[in-house]
Structure 1
Amino acid sequence: MKNRKPSFRFEIDNFSEKKANVISSKTFESSGCEWFFAVFPKGDRLADGHLSLYLQVANDTTLQPGWKRSINFYFVFLNQSGKELYKTGLGQNSFCAENPAWGFQKALPLSKFQEEGFLEKDKLIIEVYINGGEVEDVSNKKKTVDINGFQVFASQVTKVGKIFTEHPDIALDFKPTKQEVKTAYMNVLLRVIKTLNKPPKSLSETRLNKASSELSELMNVGFKLDWLKLKLDEVTLERKKPDADGSKVQQLEERVKHLELKLDEVNESRTQQVEERVKKLELKLHQASFSKSLSDDANEYRAQQVEERVTNLELMEVGFKLASLNTKLDEFSLERKKTDEKRGKNLALMELRLNTKLGDLERKTSYDTSVFDSRIEQMEKYGMGLRFKLESLITKLDEISKERKKADDADGYLVQKHEESIKNIEMMISQVKVELDKKKDKTSDDGFLLVD
């Protein structure tokens, strides 16, 4: 791959000073097709700080409707000394009227060009390498024809018909029945035959190994290909034969003579042909410039459409997220409402239970208070009874004392003793009354029932 020549080499001087949004290369030819590529030094609208690079069909407006080109390609960035700065990945694309340009939107970060020594003398070289590129007529290829049970494209009818004519029993033992599978295997067979019909010396060992593997697979599914296997062996053997030195020298001498004769003939008309070719190239360049102008307008319109589509997709995504969020909020509100209802029921039930307990407590308190009041009333009656008895006793003692005094005035000692007894009794009564009042107050403060 390193020794392979590029399909085209584009040199850009004073790269950092370019003010244009796009720099287009000259039109070049590769594999029978005309191309050019466009460089966006500052990137296109969606490049996000990267250099953009696209390969484009040069004469897409002059091709027949339904044209298509399937190719593999990649770009290589070099400095003035030929040092490789960057290599893109492999692009595998089908160019058509709807998509005449493909490439790399984010090929290389623009920050790289700010690094010291990245570019020598501010010169950027871009090489493109292209594989394939033959123009296909899609409208005709989509039409299929039945050949011995195989659906083949119109462009393949002659080749497939020749195979069945020369080898009528080739597919007698073919196993697959699905039409898509049969068509795919027929395409593989045509590819192997095409490979083996090339000059043996032009085939690499890798390509021959692949052809051998594909041939084995075709024989495994039922194709009778002994004749093709012999062809493969012959090509492999011929490729390994060395050239005889004498024969090779003779061929070279004859070829030199032939070229000398041809050169003499060509020299006479060479000047005229060069002039005609220059005129054609000038006309072609004018047409290409006009085509490029149209292509730039088309690219600008396509870029705008892509940008609008991206914006619409982003808006759709935001709308979807908002709808999803609203749904989740509704679900949360409903769940919150159910939770609140459940909590309200629980609170109501708790309130009912508390009211019931409070009623029981009030009834019990009322009962205890009434009992306590009744007991106090009993104690007061009991105290009054004691007072009455004491007063009666005092009165009786007074009467006895008077009678005793009258009877025995001389017995002063006994009277004095009785008086002292009376005083002691009065003190005891006062103490009992005080203790009774204290117990009454204490019973009222503690809130319990006093029992005799």
Structure 2
Amino acid sequence: MWKEKACFRFEIDNFSGKEAAVMSNVFVSGGYEWYISLLPKGEDGLYVDYSSLYLYATNSKPVGSGWKRIASFYFVLLNQSHKALYRSAVEEHIQFQADSLSWGFAETLPLRKFQKQGLLENDKLIAEVYIHMVDSFDGELRHVSEKKETVDINGFQLLASQATLARKIFAEHPDLAYDFTPRNQVVRTEYMNVLLSLVETLDNPSLNHSETELSNVRIELSELAEAGFKLDWLYSKLDEVSLKREKAGADSQVQGLDEPCKDDHVMKLLTLLNNLKAKLEKSDYADGSRFKEMEGRISDLEMVVSDLKLKLEEASSFSDDDDTTSSYDDDFVEILY
């Protein structure tokens, strides 16, 4: 029933300085949108000695009068070392509906426990939520005109503005949803909305993605894959974006790195590149053009890694020890050849 990985992870920096409610970004679990709200000092006038934590159901579109989601969930609070500080009880079969969109816990960790020396490392608190969808009801739409603005794309009811991207994806990956079985049209649409959002995110080179954002993208991809979508191509795109992020970070910091850190940066990039090549070797691409596309992408990434390696070697030439890059030369040659 419960997944091993959290549906969403919410990281809060400078926790001790927070006074007002802190809300996470909207995320998707079970095909539906949610967000987390944490009150560091508790609710006003109530439970002031505890932090409060709530799960909110939300929806980007108008909902009907009978709209309802039934879900079970629980929270885990951790420090930066991922040591569990608090685990809530499991709330079973909770009904989220228009007049009661949130449910949670007014009393989580006592504030005095947060103040205990060494408990909250670097003043960072991590909240994880685990959600199991039980049932959902769409209800009657408030605006009938909403139906007229949707189009059917391979069995998914999508907004007209999403049609071009959706058609392009299905044209390039016709087996995308072969194993996706939900029949509820609302659920199908929500899953596809998540997929389209992830594609737009990873295709936008102007976005400066944080490590946490990319981690949450990977979590959402995992949920889509478990639902039946074939997403090797999108996992590869995520690996590419992660690799370029590592490379950009290394470029900006290379002059200030000591030698062990330089090795670490290169090895992270090599690991990502290895993963991408392994996926290509295991994939059964019936379409030769898609195989060539993947090979071309890997070739581009190899050039990125090679470029970074040269930059690191140039930086090392100014140090007293000119042999610091030798520890990864063999690995690099093995990957390229």
TM-score by structure 1 length?
A: 0.32
More helix by share: 1
Structure number with the bigger relative contact order (C-alpha 8 A, sep ≥ 6) is 2
TM-score by structure 2 length?
A: 0.42
Larger radius of gyration: 1
